[in-house]
Amino acid sequence: MGMKFIKKIPAADEIKEQMPLPEHIREIKAQRDQDLRKIFCNEDDRFILIVGPCSADHEDSVCEYIEKLAQVQDRVKDNIFVIPRIYTNKPRTTGEGYKGMAHQPDPSKEPDLYEGIKAIRRLHIKALSEFYMPAADEMLYPENYTYLSDVIGYNAIGARSVENQQHRLAVSGVSTPVGMKNPTSGDLSVMLNSIVAAQQGHSFIYNGWEVATTGNPFAHAILRGAVDSYGRNIPNYHYEDLINISSEYEKRQLFNPAIIVDTNHANSMKLYYEQPRIAREILMSRRYDSLLKKMIKGLMIESYLVEGRQGIEENVYGKSITDACLGWESTEKLIYFIAENI
């Protein structure tokens, strides 16, 4: 057998008992969760910004970033609902490279998943306790969600996971909003079918249990662009794209139809500095058409303290070691622009 069992990871209940969420913070999170649900239900017209590093690699720099974000959130709170990105798992197309804090709590050391599970919970709790901001994470591994279910404010299902049955079923049991990305192929029917599946109740096996779910009425779309068979990026944030997907979405008559547009990845052709331009174009399209104004609830932006990306060995504080990100100065200007132009 080619699998070595290294150590047994404690169950989620054990980790949560070791690292509990303070009761007064639970109340703050519950209020933030309720506020976010109101946006998806069209009871609150604030614009959502899911913004932060491609991958949460170091606790200190991520928390410094969130502190800056919290200060800006306070200034734009009437118009914008900010959700910091704390992405603790990183999908790798070939399986090579840094897989996120859950795998390597210290990117310069060997993987340690037990310490990784504790590190990602500690980081999410810190964001909540110090900055009162429930964060977004990617549900790359559905079973990992149980370790964070009481602290996460928003989940995303990535382009490579959106067609996976276990991801769709797991989302149906999540109480917070979950964005389902279009697959890398750009096939919108895959994304829409995953939303249909996630909004229904199911019975299935999860973490060794037979479970039954009620469905997640806040499952929605994330547009991230596509890649064709020749490896070329195909954006899907232009006006015609947005009108097309919004019309197709409405035909499905799903709960709380909503779209978040990812300004990076294939939409920017991985040119991180194009994100402000893309955001401006989306805002213009949204203001021009009443259907888009109703459907497009927000943007997803990849941003960190220092612009660009670096190799793990370079050790530049607050600079991404995965996908290149917008720097803080440009991000702050962009947030204020969005607040004035939604």
Instruction: Give the tens place of pLDDT for each residue, 150-171.
Output: 999 999 999 999 999 999 999 9
* Weakly modelled stretches of the chain, pLDDT under 50: none
Residue pointed to by tokens 């996908």: 323
Q: What is the pLDDT of residues 120-159, one digit of tens each?
A: 999 999 999 999 999 999 999 999 999 999 999 999 999 9
In this prediction, residue 110 carries a pLDDT of 93
Cα–Cα dist 224/106, whole Å: 29
Cα–Cα dist 43/40, whole Å: 8
Three-state DSSP class for residue 161 = coil
In this prediction, residue 63 carries a pLDDT of 98
Question: Residue 262 class from Cβ within 10 Å (0-12 exposed, 13-18 middle, 19+ buried)?
Answer: buried
Residue pointed to by tokens 């559905």: 142
In this prediction, residue 97 carries a pLDDT of 87
Q: What is the pLDDT of residues 236-258, one digit of tens each?
A: 999 999 999 999 999 999 999 99
In this prediction, residue 1 carries a pLDDT of 63
> Residue 30 is inside which H or E element, if any?
helix 23-40
Cα–Cα dist 15/119, whole Å: 11
- Tell me the H-state helices in 147-238: 165-171, 188-198
CATH ID of 12-341, from 3.20.20.70, 3.40.50.10860, 2.60.120.10, 3.90.190.20 = 3.20.20.70
Cα–Cα dist 87/148, whole Å: 12
Cα–Cα dist 129/321, whole Å: 26
Model-level pTM?
A: 0.97
